[in-house]
Chain A
């Protein structure tokens, strides 16, 4: 806005805005100086400095379970890496399992069966109104210890053993053949996807019956099933004469408790999201689809679920991030993931600031990665609107 008069700077709205921001920056800067100054003085008084070189020195502590070799002479940064892998183990499996549980529970709330609906409601209301930490304690102490009380080993259906030393589940024995077979399964799955797409295209465009591809797919599925059941070489755990459990895959009780606790907790929230998502698809869609003659499960698959998915995906992202953040509670259970290792490091090395900075950047990166992945998925799924 032009004027022939000169506007005094302290009344000029453009400069006032800039001056205000400069003032805020200066205040923050001054505050930062105060805090950092005190911090360096405090550290100096306690004989500590601020640097990250401690990461190279020996850790001196043990980590309960590791995927890769580690011992007390390994450096701190290796300890962090190892516990990061442990955290990933928990988070990735947790995300997969809780998605399945959440979808099942969410769909179950629409079931015709009154018992199932009520059970679902009780599940969601109990989980959402009690603290997560309490639930983790319940899973760890009351449930899992209940199975391994007084040194005994319980055997669950399916050859699963629970004892104080861990949970043992059937697992494929590792061998070169296993890698080859897994490769075969993976390529089979990809091929099946393309054959399926081709089937749909041919059915839509050429009015083909699709029976030929269906036969191919069924036989592929049968072969896949055979491979999974017999070819992978499942090792069934069994009790040896000495009372130990041999074979199979052993995971710690802590891992089991964290996994079940996180999966059930997050599952309740995902169930609500799924339920809200399906409800958000207006009833008119159901009715129109049924009026066209589509059978019930096709309506769900082709019409309702894709639309519900677009509403569900954004909320799912924040639940996955919550699961990743909640995994830090493993500290209270004793499962050695990043946060637990961080606390030990902090206490032992006396480097609170560095460790905390490290931890926060790790969690922020995990969040960022999950957000990026989910945002890409979201973009693929969203409507193209006018």
Chain B
């Protein structure tokens, strides 16, 4: 008869826990690894130190602070910039609300990544070498977003119907923002030739993605159609547009559109660029939606047909809503690409965020200061795109946990 003592669990040896263990496992586990770590540390260290040295002693960061309005709104008349702030406030309010409502079921509204991002934005707002009123305004905007998000979450819990109102509010706000930027009807008109910087970039990206929706959905449906003419035309358009570089399409837009219109009508360059971007996005959107359409079971349209819904109603009420919902992550990804693709309009001569750097660098004060300008622009794009991809992943998670 043996009695077995179950020994009380004892802690592992010292070398297996804590920081030492982590370092051993991740950095020095084999001799190859150790060599690699050493080399990487040396190379990265040297680069970082060189960069910091340059950033703190040789770089002329005044380039940024002196040209803030150029970077953000191009050559927009300074006296009218208050309109841009109003537009920004409006968008932040709606954006925050939407965020809150969409994320009402996520366990933690302000997760670690979100808090980090907010903190970074806040830090930038505080440390930015800009006039104090602007810094305060930026912080106020950030506070607005956060407050609205929190409020939206509360409201989202109480009345899910809010979603419809939000969609309506966004549609209305688009026109309000457009009016604020362009003027007319009581505000001083500001021609599209004077728009520039980040504002022009965002405006073009948003207009293109909005306009490309109807065309893209039509193309996607056309590609799925059983009618050969419709399918052929859709496939033809999609493949040609996707097969040529965007810059070629922009050139098509800027050169050929004036030719295709009756003599005398010549839309401005911004409009032509937007048309090029829209055609481009429509073809890619069509492919994204096609993926969604293909994922809808055939039984759905059969059930709709059996109930007596004609093809139009079946598509509009049953197939499209489901397909679009499934395609949302891909569509957001496309918007991120579109935002980056707007930089190509600088080649046409427009003054988007990247194009305006040419003007800034032409200033005798700042000749040759490419690095500072590009770092600033790069950081702005990076923050926008990274935030959107994080948001997209959250939306995906939310959609997967819903029914």
Contacts and interface: CB of A to CB of B under 8 A. Distances in A.
A/B touching: CB–CB < 8 A: yes
How many residues of A sit at the interface, in one of the four size bands? Answer: 35 or more
A301 B351 CA distance: 51
B14 interface: no
8 contacts: A21-B227, A113-B26, A116-B36, A130-B382, A134-B381, A141-B370, A363-B244, A364-B243
Interface SS of chain B? helix
Interface SS of chain A? helix
Interface of A: 17, 20-22, 24-25, 28, 34-36, 38-39, 41-43, 45, 112-116, 119, 125-126, 128-134, 137-138, 141-142, 145, 321, 325-326, 328-329, 331-332, 339, 343, 346, 352-353, 356, 359-360, 363-364, 367-368
B328 interface: no
B261 A38 contact: yes
Given A356-B248, A363-B244, A115 B36 contact: yes
Nearest to A352: B255
Contact of B248 (A25, A119, A128, A360): A360
Contacts of B370: 137-138, 141-142, 145
Given A38-B261, A129-B389, A25 B244 contact: no
Contacts of B179: none
B27 A114 contact: yes
Given A112-B29, A142-B371, A339-B247, A25 B229 contact: yes
B279 to A, nearest CB: 13
Interface string B29-68: 1100100110011001000000000000000000000000
B385 interface: yes
A129 B382 contact: yes
B374 interface: yes
A112 B370 CA distance: 37
Nearest to A346: B255
Contacts of A356: 248, 251-252, 255-256
Contacts of A363: 243-245, 248
A133 B346 contact: yes
Contact of B262 (A38, A132, A142, A321): A38
B343 A21 contact: no
B302 interface: no
B306 interface: no
Contacts of A21: 227-230
B386 interface: yes
Contacts of A329: 245, 247, 344, 347
Interface in B335-367: 336, 340-341, 343-344, 346-347, 354
A294 B101 CA distance: 53
A356 B374 CA distance: 31
Nearest to A371: B243
A21 B245 CA distance: 30
A353 B256 contact: yes
Contacts of A145: 370
B259 A43 contact: yes
B233 interface: yes
B137 to A, nearest CB: 26
A130 B259 contact: no
Residue among A34, A42, A125 having the largest count of chain B Cβ atoms under 10 Å: A42
Given A38-B262, A339-B248, A142 B40 contact: no
B258 interface: yes
A45 to B, nearest CB: 6
Residue among A17, A34, A133 having the largest count of chain B Cβ atoms under 10 Å: A133
A343 B251 contact: yes
B259 A352 contact: yes
A113 B35 CA distance: 10
B269 to A, nearest CB: 15
Interface residues of B, number: 51
B377 interface: yes
Nearest to B261: A38
A131 B229 contact: no
B229 A112 contact: no
8 nearest A-B residue pairs (beta carbon): A114-B26, A129-B385, A21-B229, A131-B340, A141-B370, A328-B245, A35-B260, A325-B245
B17 interface: no
Contacts of A125: 386
B267 interface: no
Contact of A24 (B233, B255, B377): B233
Nearest to B339: A131
A329 B250 CA distance: 12
B37 A131 contact: no
B116 to A, nearest CB: 14
A39 B259 contact: yes
B263 interface: yes
B240 interface: yes
A41 B260 CA distance: 9
Contacts of A129: 336, 381-382, 385-386, 389
B246 to A, nearest CB: 8
A328 B249 CA distance: 12
A134 B243 contact: no
A346 B343 CA distance: 22
A224 to B, nearest CB: 26
Contacts of A128: 385
Contacts of A38: 259-263
Contacts of A368: 243
Given A134-B343, A331-B347, A332-B347, A115 B27 contact: yes
Contacts of A36: 260
Contacts of A331: 247, 347
Given A41-B263, A112-B30, A356-B255, A131 B341 contact: yes
Nearest to B222: A24
A141 B374 CA distance: 10
Nearest to A133: B343
Contacts of A39: 256, 259-260
A339 B249 CA distance: 12
Interface in B211-262: 227-230, 233, 240, 243-248, 251-252, 255-256, 258-262
A125 B388 CA distance: 13
Contacts of B321: none
Given A363-B245, A363-B248, A364-B244, 9 more contacts: A112-B25, A116-B36, A129-B381, A129-B386, A134-B378, A331-B347, A352-B255, A360-B248, A363-B243
A300 B107 CA distance: 39
